[in-house]
């Protein structure tokens, strides 16, 4: 199929994992902000982003914030105060309370739990969508029946097992915070992600499917909660002639300049999704003779936004790979490969891949936090990972998987070169 000479020239211009794609209308709205002097955290662009973000997903209210992490933080505060009351100054709204969290996700999903003094309890991952395993969540409620909050992410734009997770949450009267930062535009049974949380969050970070360079929104159906977040995110000022404060404030509001970029990007969200989907399908077809699989989704229920294309190597096609906390080595083997070898190969031709997001229970910062697998056990007693033996699903996907260059400006030719390069890793 390919000219197998191993002599592939590096790309002249770096091929990114997922970089911003601008179209022209963004600058028009930014210009408008500039010319009308709404160079602040108030203005028409913010109003429009809030309207578009809520309408696209189908929520009643969206609140424009400086980033997705800020939206998650505000969601934690809303949930914490609803569940446990308003904390005293200097104390978090989740202080001392356990919160069940997705384990294989970006750390911004769970850090806001800690900002509010909560204790993240990590729930292992399932193989069907690479998201929170409902069976492990059920186990977690057996061990910690008092828990009232679940934080779930949809990794790489693939919806998780929402029905199962919602049913468990309802059974235990727990609230859900949905981190849809990576999944904007993905649907589950025809409904947008961002609709399933009591509070949901989206992000417009530079690498997301649409971007403002930064920015995020909190989504809710409660006007009261939306107004609370509008107030908290602008330093919690009371209605008075002077700066008057009854609550702790934050400087988290979205800029009207950044909102101009996001407003322009919304016109291209569907186009970006179509491009990402084509990239995923081209990889899938291209890898059909290799011992690898693409990141999976539930075909009967979910339509991902295909934000990142990923692959996972079959167990028996893995060469020996060992990772310390900060480094990786491997032993090349004919007919086999590993993420480290493939990432090196991709990088050698000036393209960017990335390991699977390292699960939270494996992060030194969260080493003392509980971790629950589907059989109710936690972390491996010995340091099995160092020995190259995965003892839970997250660890296994992390060791065998990787994110592929998924930039929506990638040409078919460039993608074919990536595919050929990966073939060579297995030769």
Q: State the residues that interact with ligand PLP by CB under 6 A.
A: 67-69, 105-106, 108-109, 153, 179, 181-182, 203, 205, 216
* Residue closer to ligand PLP, measured from CB, 139 or 159: 159
DSSP-H helix ranges across 36-129: 44-57, 68-84, 111-115
CB 283 within 8 A of CB 419: yes
Query: Got the DSSP string for 378-392?
Result: -S-SS-TTTTT---S
Name the helix (H) or strand (E) containing 375. none
> Minimum distance between the CB of residue 108 and ligand PLP, rounded to whole angstroms?
4
Return all residues near 206 (Cβ < 8 A) that are at least 6 apart. 19, 20, 213, 214
* Residue closer to ligand PLP, measured from CB, 214 or 351: 214
User: In angstroms, rounded to a whole number, what is the distance separating the alpha carbons of residues 282 and 407?
Assistant: 13
> Minimum distance between the CB of residue 125 and ligand PLP, rounded to whole angstroms?
13
* Residue closer to ligand PLP, measured from CB, 194 or 422: 194
CB 246 within 8 A of CB 237: no
* Residue closer to ligand PLP, measured from CB, 151 or 174: 151
CB 71 within 8 A of CB 202: yes
User: In angstroms, rounded to a whole number, what is the distance separating the alpha carbons of residues 11 and 407?
Assistant: 14
CB 70 within 8 A of CB 216: yes
* Residue closer to ligand PLP, measured from CB, 121 or 181: 181
> Minimum distance between the CB of residue 396 and ligand PLP, rounded to whole angstroms?
20
* Residue closer to ligand PLP, measured from CB, 100 or 106: 106
> Minimum distance between the CB of residue 359 and ligand PLP, rounded to whole angstroms?
13
Indicate the residue whose CB is closest to ligand PLP.
Answer: 68
> Minimum distance between the CB of residue 69 and ligand PLP, rounded to whole angstroms?
3
* Residue closer to ligand PLP, measured from CB, 181 or 351: 181
CB 342 within 8 A of CB 422: yes
Residue 85 burial (10 A CB sphere; 0-12, 13-18, 19+):
exposed
> Minimum distance between the CB of residue 305 and ligand PLP, rounded to whole angstroms?
12
> Minimum distance between the CB of residue 308 and ligand PLP, rounded to whole angstroms?
10
Q: How far is CA 271 from the centre of its chain?
A: 20
> Minimum distance between the CB of residue 357 and ligand PLP, rounded to whole angstroms?
8
Dihedral sign, Cα of residue 380, residue 393, residue 116, residue 255: positive
* Residue closer to ligand PLP, measured from CB, 34 or 56: 56
> Minimum distance between the CB of residue 256 and ligand PLP, rounded to whole angstroms?
17
Instruction: Give 225-231 contacts, CB < 8 A, sequence gap 24+.
Output: 225/61, 225/78, 225/199, 226/60, 226/61, 226/62, 226/63, 228/78, 229/63, 229/65, 229/74, 229/78, 230/63
User: In angstroms, rounded to a whole number, what is the distance separating the alpha carbons of residues 166 and 172?
Assistant: 10
* Residue closer to ligand PLP, measured from CB, 43 or 216: 216
Phi and psi for 277 in degrees, rounded to 5?
A: -65, -40
> Minimum distance between the CB of residue 206 and ligand PLP, rounded to whole angstroms?
8
Instruction: Name the 3-class secondary structure at 123.
Output: strand
* Residue closer to ligand PLP, measured from CB, 187 or 205: 205
User: In angstroms, rounded to a whole number, what is the distance separating the alpha carbons of residues 279 and 135?
Assistant: 32
């Amino acid at each position: 199929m390919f000219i197998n000479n191993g002599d592939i020239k590096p790309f002249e211009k770096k091929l990114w994992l997922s970089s911003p794609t601008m179209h022209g209308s963004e600058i028009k709205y930014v210009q408008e902000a500039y010319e009308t002097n709404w160079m602040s955290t108030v203005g028409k662009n913010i109003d429009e982003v809030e309207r578009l973000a809520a309408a696209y997903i189908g929520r009643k209210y969206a609140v424009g914030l400086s980033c997705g992490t800020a939206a998650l933080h505000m969601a934690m505060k809303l949930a914490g105060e609803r569940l446990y009351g308003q904390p005293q100054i200097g104390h978090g709204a989740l202080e001392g309370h356990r919160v069940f969290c997705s384990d294989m996700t970006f750390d911004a999903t769970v850090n806001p739990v800690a900002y509010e003094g909560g204790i993240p309890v990590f729930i292992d991952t399932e193989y069907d969508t690479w998201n929170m395993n409902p069976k492990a969540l059920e186990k977690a409620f057996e061990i910690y029946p008092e828990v009232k909050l679940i934080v779930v992410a949809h990794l790489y734009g693939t919806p998780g097992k929402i029905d199962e997770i919602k049913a468990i949450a309802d059974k235990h009267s727990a609230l859900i915070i949905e981190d849809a930062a990576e999944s904007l535009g993905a649907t589950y049974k025809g409904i947008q992600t961002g609709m399933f949380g009591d509070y949901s969050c989206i992000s417009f970070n530079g690498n997301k499917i649409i971007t403002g360079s930064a920015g995020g929104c909190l989504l809710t159906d409660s006007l009261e909660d939306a107004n609370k977040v509008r107030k908290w995110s602008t330093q919690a000022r009371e209605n008075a002639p002077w700066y008057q404060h009854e609550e702790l404030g934050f400087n988290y509001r979205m800029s009207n300049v950044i909102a101009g970029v996001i407003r322009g990007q919304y016109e291209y969200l569907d186009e970006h999704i179509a491009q990402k989907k084509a990239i995923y399908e081209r990889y899938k077809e291209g890898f059909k003779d290799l011992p690898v699989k693409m990141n999976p989704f539930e075909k009967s229920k979910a339509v991902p936004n295909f934000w990142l294309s990923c692959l996972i190597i079959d167990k028996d096609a893995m060469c020996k790979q060992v990772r310390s906390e900060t480094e990786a080595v491997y032993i090349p083997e004919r007919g086999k490969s590993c993420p480290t070898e493939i990432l090196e190969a991709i990088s050698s031709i000036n393209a960017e891949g990335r390991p699977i997001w390292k699960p939270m229970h494996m992060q030194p910062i969260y080493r003392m936090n509980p971790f629950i697998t589907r059989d109710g056990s936690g972390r491996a007693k010995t340091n099995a990972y160092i020995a190259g033996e995965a003892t839970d699903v997250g660890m296994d996907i992390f060791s065998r998987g990787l994110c592929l260059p998924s930039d929506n400006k990638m040409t078919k030719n460039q993608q074919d070169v990536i595919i050929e390069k990966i073939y060579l890793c297995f030769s």
